[in-house]
Structure formats: structure tokens, C-alpha cells
Amino acid sequence: ETGVTQSPTHLIKTRGQQVTLRCSSQSGHNTVSWYQQALGQGPQFIFQYYREEENGRGNFPPRFSGLQFPNYSSELNVNALELDDSALYLCASSNRGVDEKLFFGSGTQLSVL
Amino acid sequence: KQEVTQIPAALSVPEGENLVLNCSFTDSAIYNLQWFRQDPGKGLTSLLLIQSSQREQTSGRLNASLDKSSGRSTLYIAASQPGDSATYLCAVYQAGTALIFGKGTTLSVSS
């Protein structure tokens, strides 16, 4: 049990809609990262937050945005959904300054129709 | 740009066999390398983390090695069991970036 929880577990949206995915980090962790995993692929880095500031971003357009809150929970927002956004979205937390080991949640499966 | 490749993409073995999964990366300037397990539609479970200064790590029936200079890592699974069936992902971490993953090796162990 990693202690990282994500909600919802599954979500169906239509093209053009907006979606918010949520993540609660493991207790004591100050860093959260979001990854997108398409079917049959490895996870791709979206962005990372450290102490409520974005601290790194992968090759994703600005319609992918995020927030990290004082309690270290986090949100991933995606605007103007496209069919290719259908994927498993994974949240991972870690304790920067202690070690770099990531603990992943079970993910949110997003389907865009 | 760092690229991570895993071979084979899929592997089927009978129960009890020892097996090796391979991972290669193009840029040897890594901070650490991690092996993860992923069950279908689920999140990732960290199996082993090898720091760049280390050569190998062991946990139970699992042993991971790292040869940074050649850009290679192997995950050795001893006495495989049906419960080992899953996708195994290799990922490298470079300072100032995020984890970069391979596409994984899907393992099926038959009883």
C-alpha cells in the first residue's frame, strides 16, 4: 500500500470537454508528478510540482495544467479534450531532499469519445 | 535525448524457470535506474532502485544489475511463478528531469 490515492478511477468524457483528476500524496511527501500512459506504452512525464510550484514539464501542451495544494494533494486539469488524450493518468509522490523513489497511485483511466 | 528500450516486448515461460529482462538507455549520465511492476490497468509498484554508483540490488527472488558505462540493466527473476505475470517497466532518472520509461516487457508465467 503506497498511500497515494487517485480519483476517480474511471472517467468518460467527450471531445472538447474539460476534466479534473485528483491525487492525494503519500504522507510526508512534498513532490508530486503526473504521467500519461497510452495503451501499450510506457508512462510519459507531464509535469511535476514541488511545494506548490511547477518544477518541470514534459512535452505536453498548455491545455494540460496542474495545481498542488498546501496539504500536498494535487490536481491535473485538461481542457479541450482530444481523442488522443484517452489514457491512464498516473500520479506519483516523492520526498525531495530525502530520496528520489517514486510511489505511484493506481491511476485514472480516461476515455475521450 | 534519453531513450530507454526494453527487450523482449513479451515473454512466456513455464513456472519455475529463471529469466532475464533487458533494459538499455542511450545517455549514461543517469542518477538512478528503477524497475517497476504493473498489473493490467493498474498503477506502478517499485521493485528495485539502483543508484548510479551501485552495480546491483536484490530483493527476494529479484536481482537487478546496472552497467552505466554500457547503458544496460537487467532484471533477473529466479524460480518464476504465475503470480509474477505482469508488465515490467524500466525507468531512468537524470538530475533535473523526470523518470524516463521504456515500453515494458509483458511477462506471462504458466503453471
pLDDT, tens digit (0-9, with 9 covering 90-100), for B26-46? 999 998 999 999 998 888 999
pLDDT at A96: 75
Q: What contacts B99, CB < 8 A, 6 or more positions away?
A: A33, A35, A43, A45, A102, B34, B91, B92, B93
CB A25 within 8 A of CB A92: no
Torsion of CA A112, B3, B9, B15, to 10 degrees: -110
Highest mean pLDDT range out of A25-29, B41-45, B73-77?
B73-77
Do A42 and B103 make contact, defined as CB atoms within 8 angstroms? yes
Q: Which residues of B touch A41 (CB under 8 A)?
A: 103
pLDDT at A2: 54
Do A45 and B98 make contact, defined as CB atoms within 8 angstroms? yes
Q: Which residues of B touch A33 (CB under 8 A)?
A: 98-99
Question: Which of A7, A21, A24 is closest to A93 using CA atoms?
Answer: A24
Ramachandran category for residue A52: left, alpha or beta (phi over 0 → left; psi -120 to 50 → alpha): left
Work out the average pLDDT over A83-92: 96
pLDDT at A1: 47
Which cell numbers hold the place of B13?
515461460
Question: In whole angstroms, what is the distance from residue B11 CA to residue B19 CA?
Answer: 9
Looking at the complex, report in whole angstroms how far the Cα of residue B70 sits from the nearest Cα belonging to chain A: 22
Which cell numbers hold the place of B10?
513479451
